Amino acid sequence: MGERTVITGCGAVTSVAASAAETWSAAVAGATGVGPIEGFDASGFTCHLAAQVLGFHTESLGVTPRDARIMGLPGLMLLGSGREAMVQAGLRGATPGPDEIGIFAGMGMVDRAPEDLRAAVAVSRAPTGIDYERFFGDGYREIYPLWPLAMLNNVGFCLAALHLGVKGDNAVFSPGADAALLAVAEASAAVASGRAAAALAGGTSERVTADSLARAHLVGGWGEPAANCALGEGAAVLVIEAESMARARGATPRAVVAGWGFSHAACASDGFVAAMASALERAGPAPRPADAVVLHDERCRGAAGAEREAVVDVFGRQAEPMALLSSKEMLGHALAGGAAVDVVLAVHALDGGFVPRSLIQGAGGPQPPADGTPCGAAVRPRRIVVNAQSWSGACGCLILDAVE
Amino acid sequence: MTGYGMITPLGRNADETFARAAQGQSGIRPITSFDVRGLPCGIAGQVDDSWLDDAVATHRNGRLASRAVRLMLLAATEAAQAAALTDVEDRNRVAVAIGCHGENPSIEEILFLHRFTDGNGRWDAAGLAEAGGYDVQQFFRRKPDVAAALVAGTFDCRGPNLTLVSACAAGAQAIGEARRLIAEGSCDVALAGGCEATVDFVGLVGFSLLRALAERFASPATASRPFDRRRNGFVLAEGAGAMVLEELGHARVRGARLLGEVLGYGDSADAYRITDSRPDGEGAALAMRGALDDAGLPSAAVEYVNAHGTSTVQGDIAETRAIKEVFGTRAREVPVSSNKSMLGHTIAAAGAIEATLTLMGMERSVILPTINHEVPDPRCDLDFVPNVARRQPHRVALSNSFGFGGQNASLCLGCCDG
Amino acid sequence: MQHLIGEETVSSEIRKALVETLRVGPATIGPETSIVRDLGAESLDFLDLNYRLEQTFGIRMARHFFLEHMEEMFGEGSAIDENGRLTPRALAVLRARYPEATLPEHEDGIDMDEVPSLITVQAMTDTVMSILDTLPAGCSCGASAWRAEDGTHVICGTCRQPATFTNGDDLTRQWLSGLSEGSGLP
């Protein structure tokens, strides 16, 4: 199975901050990025709240307007996160070279941008709506020619790789939250087997648009609008390396990628059980069973209960002292971006030695004191489990250990 | 590989496709399913609609499934049956890896939304919701992971479930990732493949706007002409391919037939330009060498290359250079052919269909031709197995898939002695 | 010759488009700037550039390069030989099209891939101007009252219909026919 793989760098762009470190500080401070949706009128939807990334300054990314337009917010966030992670890991020098660095990511779906089609629509307008004869005749030629590129899921990923200067082993998974954990697992396997000297792994959300909102509504049937149903925007990237290579290079491991497991089941609870069991088997024993679980905490489908049942199923009585965490209240449901940010939060918790109170979901473990100081099982976590699930029922589980 | 299946413009199952391809037939015809009058390219490789009726008849999910998913279900059924997949006991150890990027919305659907926006980010969401909002069918059609989910549900595969969206490389990446899952012990068996069904107005318009499609040709059947001097773009096609991959010991224990082997997988990112591949073919060469390294084989062991060969002016040159780089002075001795000359470019399905055809070719000692090879291009000066299939035993091959965006994948495939 | 839209306007719009597409400083763009060699444009950028100019001026730029038109009009091999190099005939056409260009000196001849680097800002300006010069004498409504709206869109002063120009591909073919008949090229 190869040697131990570690995380040596983190990067993130979220609705609360434009970096991983600041996102962590925001979590410690109990901030939230959820608010009324901006940029378009969402009053027709059941939920009017989202955790959007606003004011993300892309000029410093050094991307041409053309590329920025094609990448869109998801691709740009992936790029920003990737840069931060690479800098933190000290990966900007000559070795390892671009051919030896891999990149794996979970990406969401891409929604069409109406402005690309506007000219074609304008030219084909008729009193009845659209003159399709005109449109299919030559009206379509008014469509912005790079529109098809923006519509392909993987081009944003490829442009991010291009701008990061990464040319090695790669794969892009889609479209659910589990895709980010798949990316981390594949990146770990790639460096453990020597296919890559280092690998970037992460995920990015979709943009909050009328399209993505409509999709989430179709999946869930949300009912009462509340903060816990909000969609989110965000991305995160980690740098993963074999431990010996990291240390030889002088990089500081921040956490160990101990295990992973994936499963697909009709019943959510079964899926989580299988994924967690498989991940624990791969991770092997630890001095204590998991100290905390970052729940996927699915709120769009009313399936959160199934996940908690699965945790109890897998850990039995050992689940009682575990801290159950969720980033959904802070960051909304950011699909693959959310799962990747969950991994970043877990890394900071292991590295920093505590779990922010604002992430703890109540049941499970001693209640944190009112003044917000770290406590109980949240003190010095050594093993954290991260769960993710797609709306199609694919479950993923990642286990991270502290670096001893 | 313990089972395979495919449905392509040339055949409703793997044997049919292979037989016709061995005769050098083309599956490319004028498009009749929608009006192509305004488009500069009105041909494609399409699957006969009547073959899809089987999917509806025999699958409980068939009626719900969109076209790409039906194609996937049909290919997966053929593969699963060949492998007797139902015999595998532990379903938690059966994974699914599919290359698929979803289907296109129709122009009408796209333009419907235009009534509710001013094109400057302002949406009339209330009006949209009142008018019927977002269509459920469209939601499922566009979602990339529906194929993987339905395959998992239909064939009771409860292990890891992956959807690869790397465009033209997705099918090959799916097979490569499946191989890795088995090698690292995450599963014992995997159903891996790819599907594509984007021969519609949006698909044609998209590639036409990028000037990627062949626009000048004497006839539909001669439009796709990889490595030929007159090539001027690719021909879009649809289809699906699937294979059942299995850990060797596991296959032996249950007495499964060993039909071929995925020896290695290599991939790279061009990180050069979005649509122009690196002219020196370096990214592609990296992927091929990676596949060989993964297989533990030298380039001298390779006896055939199934090229990506899309029939674009620059792409074919870059691939030629990459092959020369990997094989050195031996390059002209290695036969190289492109199935796309007959099938067209099946995008996300291509890697899976072509890897399967490669393994079938090794099984039968037949190397499929590159048809429409009439005027050689001095810049593409390898043995492209022009026009006529060749009877030649061969045991090790490479199958290339280089995607839009610069994701390059290469599979090293080998014969099994049964 | 139309007089509604001047060369200065056209070259200014081209510079604007280049700055936006390629994110280069306007100071780096002069008439002799090669869009490929000096500004690093790739084929995708030409799609974008052409689109912007089409939208700005209401014209249709050519989809195919003149070498491709030659091959179609005068037969395979008339412009590009079997080694991908320009034939003497194509060279003559190239000189006629880019009279200001300094052609690379090679023993074996110019490779077709080198030709895009000859496209300068001035060449692009000339191309747009030649399309604009195909402005018909009058509008289909009968009036001869063309106006330039926003300084770049020619519309009929009477019925407000936008002007229809000859599309770039047809214009290229007309020009090639004219060259071939007129000047006794090889």
- B149 reaches A (C-beta below 8 A): yes
Q: Which residues pair with A170 in a beta bridge?
A: A103
Mutation site, A70, A138, A146, interface C, largest C CB count within 10 A = A146
**% residues pLDDT > 90 (chain C):** 44
Q: In which residue are the tokens 């149903």 written?
A: A229
Q: pLDDT band for position A222 (50/70/90)?
A: very low
- B275 reaches C (C-beta below 8 A): yes
Answer whether residue C13 shows pLDDT above 80: yes
Gap from C180 CA to chain A (nearest CA, Å)? 31
Spatial neighbors of A157 by CB under 8 A, at least 6 apart, are: A75, A78, A103, A105, A107, A172, B405
Is C82 in contact with B211 (Cβ distance < 8 A)? no
- B344 reaches A (C-beta below 8 A): no
Per the CB < 8 A criterion, the answer to whether A394 and A178 are in contact is yes
Gap from A207 CA to chain B (nearest CA, Å)? 12
Interface of B with A in 7-66 (CB under 8 A): 35, 37-38
Q: Which of C21, C55, C60 sits opposite A66 (nearest CB)?
A: C21
List pLDDT tens digits, range A119-157: 888 888 777 777 888 888 888 888 888 888 877 878 999
Q: pLDDT band for position A213 (50/70/90)?
A: confident
CB contacts, 8 Å: A64 with chain C: 21-23
The three state secondary structure string of chain A is CCCCEEEEEEEEEECCCCCHHHHHHHHHCCCCCEEECCCCECCCCCCCEEECCCCCCCHHHCCCHHHHHHHHHHHHHHHHHHHHHHHHHCCCCCCCCHHHEEEEEECCCCCCCHHHHHHHHHHCEECCEECHHHHHHCHHHHCCCCHHHHHCHHHHHHHHHHHHCCCCCEEEECCCCHHHHHHHHHHHHHHHCCCCCEEEEEEECCCCCHHHHHHHHHHHCCCCCCHHHCEECEEEEEEEEEHHHHHHHCCCCCEEEEEEEEEECCCHHHHHHHHHHHHHHHHCCCCCCCCEEECCCCCCCCCHHHHHHHHHHHHHHHHCCCEEECCHHHHCECHHHHHHHHHHHHHHHHHHCECCHHHECCCCCCCCCCCCCCCHHHECCCEEEEEEECCCCEEEEEEEECCC
* Residue A57 phi, psi (nearest 5): -85, 110
Q: Which of B119, B142, B158 sits opposite A109 (nearest CB)?
A: B142
pLDDT at A103: 97
Is A175 in contact with B92 (Cβ distance < 8 A)? no
pLDDT at A364: 41
Is C47 in contact with A64 (Cβ distance < 8 A)? no
pLDDT at A126: 79
Given a contact as 3+ CB pairs under 8 Å, which chains touch C?
A, B
Distance of CA B190 to CAs A72, B130, B174, B185, Å?
34, 44, 10, 12
Pairwise pLDDT comparison (A200 vs A372), residue with the higher score: A200
User: Which residues of B are marked as active site?
Assistant: 168, 308, 345
Gap from C70 CA to chain B (nearest CA, Å)? 13
Answer whether residue A69 shows pLDDT above 60: yes
Is C20 in contact with A65 (Cβ distance < 8 A)? yes
- B388 reaches A (C-beta below 8 A): no
Give the mean model confidence (pLDDT) for residues C27-54: 90
Q: pLDDT band for position A228 (50/70/90)?
A: low
Residues of chain B with pLDDT under 70: 55-58, 60-64, 118-123, 125, 129-134, 271, 277, 418
Gap from C50 CA to chain A (nearest CA, Å)? 9
The pTM (predicted TM-score) of the whole model is 0.93
- B135 reaches A (C-beta below 8 A): no
Handedness of CA B66, B72, B78, B83 (dihedral sign): negative
Q: Which of A136, A176, A211 sits opposite B201 (nearest CB)?
A: A136
Is C43 in contact with B275 (Cβ distance < 8 A)? yes
Given a contact as 3+ CB pairs under 8 Å, which chains touch B?
A, C
pLDDT at B133: 61
Is C44 in contact with B229 (Cβ distance < 8 A)? no
Pairwise pLDDT comparison (A318 vs B30), residue with the higher score: B30
Is C84 in contact with B378 (Cβ distance < 8 A)? yes
Spatial neighbors of A34 by CB under 8 A, at least 6 apart, are: A15, A49, A50, A51, A227, A230, A232, A329, A330, A331, A332
Give the mean model confidence (pLDDT) for residues C139-156: 90
Is B144 in contact with A175 (Cβ distance < 8 A)? yes
Q: Minimal Cα distance from B278: which residue of C?
A: C42
Is C55 in contact with A142 (Cβ distance < 8 A)? yes
* Residue C43 phi, psi (nearest 5): -60, -35
* Residue B344 phi, psi (nearest 5): 80, -170
CB contacts, 8 Å: B211 with chain C: 43, 47, 63
Gap from B300 CA to chain A (nearest CA, Å)? 21
Q: pLDDT band for position A404 (50/70/90)?
A: confident
pLDDT at C110: 86
Is C47 in contact with B209 (Cβ distance < 8 A)? yes
Interface of C with B (CB under 8 A): 42-44, 47, 63, 68, 72, 76, 82-84
- Looking at residue B81, its amino acid is Q
- B129 reaches A (C-beta below 8 A): yes
Q: Minimal Cα distance from B264: which residue of A?
A: A195
Is A179 in contact with B407 (Cβ distance < 8 A)? no
Gap from B252 CA to chain A (nearest CA, Å)? 22
